[in-house]
Every structure is written in structure tokens, then in C-alpha cells.
Amino acid sequence: MTATEAAALIGCSPAQVRVLIRTGKIKAIKRKMPGGYYYVVSVAEAKRYRDTPQKHGGWPRGQSWEYEKP
């Protein structure tokens, strides 16, 4: 899946996914194309990051601060 699709799965922006890839928090393959490049992220890698609890116990990934538990 592309960085945009991974962002939708994780619940963040594609720019944030690219930063996570560059910092090594998400593993991805960089593919060349005419005029640039794109990243390919595995579904398992995106789900692993989405399901990892946040370091300081904030709200769930992909939810706004207005999120309320049922």
C-alpha cells in the first residue's frame, strides 16, 4: 500500500507517514517512478504501528482529542 493508504489505516496524514518512514518507525520500500518516487508500506507494518500504544498514554491513534470512550 502507498503512504496515503497507510495514513488512512493508521489515522494520520500522508506527510506524517513519510516522516515515520524516514525516522525508521515504519519500514517501507522506496520505489522510483518518472518524476519522483513513492513508498510502499506493508499492511502488517501499518497495522502494527496503529495498534502500538502511544508512549505517554494519550488517546488512541487516529482519534481527535474530542474522542470519548463509550
- Segment 3-19, tens digit of pLDDT: 999 999 988 889 999 99
pLDDT digits 0-9 by tens, 29-48: 999 999 999 999 999 999 88
Is pLDDT at 67 greater than 70 in this prediction? no
Q: What residues are paired with 40 via a beta bridge? A: 2, 29
pLDDT band per the 50, 70, 90 thresholds, residue 53:
confident
pTM: 0.73
- For 41, which DSSP code? E
What's the distance, CA 24 to chain centroid? 12
